């Protein structure tokens, strides 16, 4: 793990990995969405609304996975002081928040024709909305630490504590009898027909590759900003030192 602690080594890998992840992600997502749109039969209760599954479930998974990435990277930052872990956590926040917002909006658009309601205050939907607010809070804390030259420790602790919400989101539909349906996807025993399953798995892989590519883009941006700021500070200090000597 510490092999990747060197920013120069990380940048060498990220330069070719970023476009690869993005291009593969776009191709796999486009293929999965096209396959779904062309092959999905209308579901007998939901009719055409079932198509929304392909742009609702992958963002939901990535909203939760994004926060788990923040929690793990924050732990690595606090315990092992890995120099890239804090940057990775900050880089995962925006794509995580975007996918959580997409999940909430597409869920609302799915709920109206199937449930007859845009929104219900059940535990699954409410804990997902809370996740979006947690992302906003994390981005505010991490941004403030960056502006004020702080350590980012508060944001890291917040990132770890916020992970408590993830099992609540996941198990809410198992523990309670909610408006939101129970999970259809599970390891080795999915309750979903294969005609829906394969395009859905393809979309999940494609969106995940895009997520990885965006995280790398944002890590490169944060690193470049830090390096530019450090260089400008060094030059300003050298200028002050030369002025004082003369």
Partner 1 sequence: MREIIDPLPFVIAAYAIGIGGTAAMIVWSWILMRRAEMRREKSREL
Interacting residues toward partner 1 by CB under 8 A? 22, 29, 33, 46-49, 51-52, 54-56, 59, 94-95, 98, 101-102, 105-106, 109-110, 112-114, 116, 207, 210, 213-214, 217-218, 220-222, 224-225, 227-228, 231-232, 235
CB of 202 to partner 1, least distance (A): 14
In the complex, the smallest distance separating the C-beta of residue 184 from partner 1, rounded to whole angstroms, is 18
Please report how close the Cβ of residue 63 comes to partner 1 at its closest, in angstroms.
12
Q: Which is nearer to partner 1, 101 or 123 (CB)?
A: 101
Q: Closer to partner 1 by CB, 22 or 157: give it.
A: 22
In this complex, which beta carbon is closest to partner 1, that of residue 120 or of residue 224? 224
- Smallest distance from the beta carbon of 183 to partner 1, in angstroms? 20
Instruction: Supply the minimum distance, in Å, between the C-beta of residue 99 and partner 1.
Output: 8
The token pair at 9 is: 């080594």
Q: Which is nearer to partner 1, 61 or 78 (CB)?
A: 61
Tokens of 146: 């960056």
Between 26 and 168, CB nearer to partner 1: 26
């Amino acid at each position: 793990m510490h092999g990747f602690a060197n920013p120069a080594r990380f940048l060498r890998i990220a330069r070719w990995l970023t476009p690869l992840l993005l291009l593969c992600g776009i191709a796999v997502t486009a293929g999965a969405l096209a396959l779904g749109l062309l092959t999905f039969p209308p579901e007998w209760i939901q009719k055409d609304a079932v198509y929304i599954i392909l742009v609702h479930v992958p963002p939901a998974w990535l909203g939760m996975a994004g926060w788990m990435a923040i929690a793990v990277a924050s732990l690595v930052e606090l315990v092992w002081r890995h120099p890239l872990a804090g940057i990775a956590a900050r880089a995962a926040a925006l794509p995580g928040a975007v996918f959580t917002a997409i999940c909430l909006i597409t869920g609302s658009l799915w709920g109206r024709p199937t449930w007859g309601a845009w929104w219900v205050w059940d535990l699954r939907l409410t804990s997902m909305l809370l996740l979006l607010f947690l992302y906003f809070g994390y981005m505010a804390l991490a941004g403030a630490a960056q502006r004020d030259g702080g350590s980012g420790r508060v944001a890291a602790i917040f990132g770890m504590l916020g992970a408590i919400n993830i099992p609540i989101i996941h198990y809410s539909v198992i523990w309670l009898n909610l408006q939101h349906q129970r999970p259809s996807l599970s390891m080795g025993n999915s309750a979903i027909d294969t005609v829906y399953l394969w395009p859905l798995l393809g979309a999940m892989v494609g969106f995940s590759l895009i997520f990885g590519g965006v995280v790398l883009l944002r890590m490169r941006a944060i690193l470049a900003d830090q390096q530019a700021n450090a260089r400008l500070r060094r030059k300003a200090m050298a200028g002050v030192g030369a002025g004082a000597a003369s």
